[in-house]
Structure 1
Amino acid sequence: MISVDAHRETVTGLLGNAPVIRLPLASAAGLVLAEDVRAGVSLPPFDNSAMDGYAVRAEDIAEVPVTLPVAEDIPAGRVDSTKLEPGTAHRIMTGAPMPPGADAVVMVEHTDGGVTDVRILRTAVLGAHIRRRGEDVVEGTVALSAGTVLGPAQLGLAAAVGLAEVPVYRPLKVLVVSTGTELVDAPEPLRHGQIYESNSIMLASAIRALGCEAEVVRSVVDDVDEFRSVIEPRLAEVDLLVTSGGVSAGAYEVVKDALTGQGVEFRKVAMQPGGPQGCGRWNGVPVVTLPGNPVSVLVSFEAFLRPALLAAMGHAGVDRQKVRARLTESMTSPAGRRQFRRGFYTHSEGEVTGIVGPRGGPGSHLLASFTQANCLIVLPEDVDSAEQGDEVDVLLL
């Protein structure tokens, strides 16, 4: 057996880095910036008013109340510029450019709101309510650094500094394949010995949640020739093939039989659940093969696929948040294997550590208990039991 960490490193290295493409801002949400981008303009691009009010010279309103003639109206979007003469005011709106000669803005609430003449009731210090050019971002400087995840604020900033598109790591295209002659797609009626296929639904949704594209081939029967004929023609269109089932030590392990000697290595990983794993390249395309039981599939995704896919698309933080928690009941774990158990974690205000209890048993077929879990309890390879009250590592889902 090899370690969980060693297999994770192999899978991550197999994927490498996704290609870099340029996308319009509207199509880049959730992706990772591949290069530094610089501001095409300063932000703000000109001195402008932070308030609806009146642009004035601070010395003209040093003693109040005072009445000044209103020489100009300056709405937001006005592109011409008229100098403010001494002893006058310009009525100005939020975001409108400051006129030359003005050095302060008086809020409209501190005036009588006059249109031809304005009575100013309070003084304003030099620079009051003025947004200065480049106060936020200076033209030519780095506005967003490589490695930034493009959320709403980041995309808003990119648009504000004049960018129409950005260089990002392209979302990976993943082919998800479930295998097993016993599998049936709902709502077809089940016969004795058959089960409904669920792995591809779980895997595809988990992969898409990371921003990847997922194409699904469901319920491929346990026949090597059929597996190859269905899957091989699709490889040229994807970045990664992920299979579930057919990798263990039984007599009808279609994935192992089809891909052994084709560049894919099958191995036993020191973990529970999810021991039978495989990875490599088939026709040059990265392949990750997962076991068939549904809990094994989701645990394997968390342990290997999720961090590898995120790393390939440029994410720096690829690990789930890890915390320590006290067990609400005792647990056992097979010696020499890292156990991942579904659990429910809570943390009350004022407590140093939270508490966690397992949900369901260790069986890899117990999918319903996964729906009640919000974490994975991790017992390391050198631990075969943990008692109630012991602190353990918890990965928050």
Structure 2
Amino acid sequence: MIQVEEALSIIAENSTNMPIQKIAVSKALGYVLAETVYSPINMPPFRQSAMDGYAFIHSERHQYDIVGISQAGDHSNLKLNPNETVRIFTGAFVPDNADTVIMQEHVMANDKSILITIMPEQFANVRSKGEQIQKEEVVFEANTLITPAAIGFLACLGITEIEVYKKPKVTILVTGNELVEPGKKLSKGKIYESNSVMLEAALQTIGIKKTKVYKVKDSLKATKKALKSILKKSDIILVSGGISVGDYDFVKEALLENGVEELFYKINQKPGKPMFFGSKNETLVFALPGNPASSLTNFYIYVYPAIKNRMGFSDTHLPKLVRKLNTSFTNTTGKTLFLKALYDETNVTILESQSSAMLNTFAIANSLLIVPYDTENLKKGELVTLLPID
């Protein structure tokens, strides 16, 4: 049995980046850049008006003759005299010798001329060439997550394809004779299976939208056969249940017989002690506890950073926050505890129902409070470390 930090270190060492692929910018939402992207153009590529109004050469005069119109998409580079102006619209080309745009609300105008009622500062309302980004300037560094805004920015620069890390193919294997699909009749001795949909939902929060889910009965033969198949077509496998030491827990044996190398088994923590982590070729295997709260806890602590590492994220772990503890707490287990908790701007409250089988308080928790294995007493008002999960 190993400590939490050692388990995290082993997972990080084995969570290599996925292969790189070229992808259309329009399809890149949720992917992570595998390259640094440079701008092929100045943006804006010419001086633009930031307002609907009139472009002119700034001076002390207030009256100007209208000599033309500049609409978005036009390139009528009129040469203005000091007493002349051009009607202009937002995003339109500003004539080369005009230096200022007066918004239309600050003029009195007719078809032939304008009278400025509120004089703007020189250079007002003119977007300079390359104001947003200049040619050859870095658009995004490698390991940047592609968001809707990032897609829009890349598109406005004329970039149509980028290199990203492939998203891993994640498979969930659920074990347990006692499990029944939600919606079906629940007979005596049975419980509804919830871990697969819970883990699928957790995966979606980090950009894994499609997962394969398989269910298998508690037998060595069936478990071994299922794992043999999914090991060939998965980058990451999450096994739910069957990893403890009961008479019907066959997952570890089935993994080893399929050539999965054991990297560690069991962590000195609560909940979530009986977890197996291993690999075969480039495939990572997390055999998670069957108890729902244990399974989700270990997802956040171990699976989450491994997947983000493989996807190319630079920041892979949940961020850490520090808050004041609302009540005293004693840890006599000698284990690292991950407690479901609620925090606000200054304080944190440990919730009731910390059992590994219970999701009722997990469903309202917004954090996991970390109690180190070598910490026995926490006092009210003491600063503690949290992992936000909201």
Q: TM-score, normalised by structure 2?
A: 0.92
Work out the CA distance in 2 between the residues paired with 1:375 and 1:16. 28
Deviations 1:222-273 (A, max 9, x none): 1122223334223333211110111111111121121124223251211111
1:373 aligns with 2:365: yes
Work out the CA distance in 1 between the residues paired with 2:27 and 2:18. 17
1:5 aligns with 2:9: no
1:276 match: secondary structure: coil
Q: Which residue of 2 aligns with 1:100?
A: 96
Work out the CA distance in 1 between the residues paired with 2:106 and 2:155. 35
Instruction: For residue 10 of structure 1, report the CA deviation from its aligned partner.
Output: 1.8
Q: Which residue of 2 aligns with 1:292?
A: 290
Segment drifting more, 354-363 vs 136-145:
354-363
Please list, as runs of the form range in 1=range in 2, the aligned pairs for 1:1-397 lying within 5 A after superposition: 1-59=1-59, 62-64=60-62, 66=63, 68-261=64-257, 262-265=259-262, 267-282=265-280, 285-347=283-345, 354-397=346-389
Q: Would you say how many aligned residue pairs link Structure 1 and Structure 2?
A: 387
Q: Is the contact made by 1:181 and 1:222 (CA closer than 8 Å) also made in structure 2?
A: yes
Amino acid at match of 1:336: G
Instruction: For residue 205 of structure 1, report the CA deviation from its aligned partner.
Output: 1.0
Work out the CA distance in 1 between the residues paired with 2:344 and 2:235. 38
2:363 match: secondary structure: helix
Instruction: For residue 86 of structure 1, report the CA deviation from its aligned partner.
Output: 4.4
Q: Is the contact made by 2:267 and 2:274 (CA closer than 8 Å) also made in structure 1?
A: yes
1:143 match: secondary structure: strand
Amino acid at match of 2:194: S
Instruction: For residue 124 of structure 1, report the CA deviation from its aligned partner.
Output: 4.7
Gaps of 5+ in 1: 348-353
Work out the CA distance in 2 between the residues paired with 1:176 and 1:125. 63
Gaps of 5+ in 2: none
Amino acid at match of 2:26: A
Amino acid at match of 1:238: S
1:371 match: secondary structure: coil
Structure 1 residues 327, 140: CA separation in 2 closer, same or farther (over 3 Å shift)?
closer
Structure 1 residues 127, 291: CA separation in 2 closer, same or farther (over 3 Å shift)?
same
Structure 1 residues 287, 94: CA separation in 2 closer, same or farther (over 3 Å shift)?
same
Structure 1 residues 103, 328: CA separation in 2 closer, same or farther (over 3 Å shift)?
closer
Structure 1 residues 334, 275: CA separation in 2 closer, same or farther (over 3 Å shift)?
farther
Q: Which residue of 2 aligns with 1:350?
A: none
Deviations 1:311-342 (A, max 9, x none): 22122222323233333333333443101111
Q: Is the contact made by 1:63 and 1:123 (CA closer than 8 Å) also made in structure 2?
A: no
Work out the CA distance in 2 between the residues paired with 1:99 and 1:249. 79
2:343 match: secondary structure: strand
Work out the CA distance in 2 between the residues paired with 1:140 and 1:396. 38
Q: Is the contact made by 2:235 and 2:282 (CA closer than 8 Å) also made in structure 1?
A: no
State percent identity of aligned pairs: 33
Structure 1 residues 105, 361: CA separation in 2 closer, same or farther (over 3 Å shift)?
closer
Instruction: For residue 218 of structure 1, report the CA deviation from its aligned partner.
Output: 4.4
1:368 match: secondary structure: coil
Work out the CA distance in 2 between the residues paired with 1:270 and 1:365. 18
Work out the CA distance in 2 between the residues paired with 1:264 and 1:290. 16
Amino acid at match of 1:211: G
Deviations 1:261-320 (A, max 9, x none): 422325121111111111222465221111111111011111101111112212222232
Instruction: For residue 343 of structure 1, report the CA deviation from its aligned partner.
Output: 1.3
Deviations 1:191-236 (A, max 9, x none): 2221111111111111121002442434311112222333422333
Work out the CA distance in 2 between the residues paired with 1:163 and 1:360. 52
Q: Is the contact made by 2:227 and 2:255 (CA closer than 8 Å) also made in structure 1?
A: no
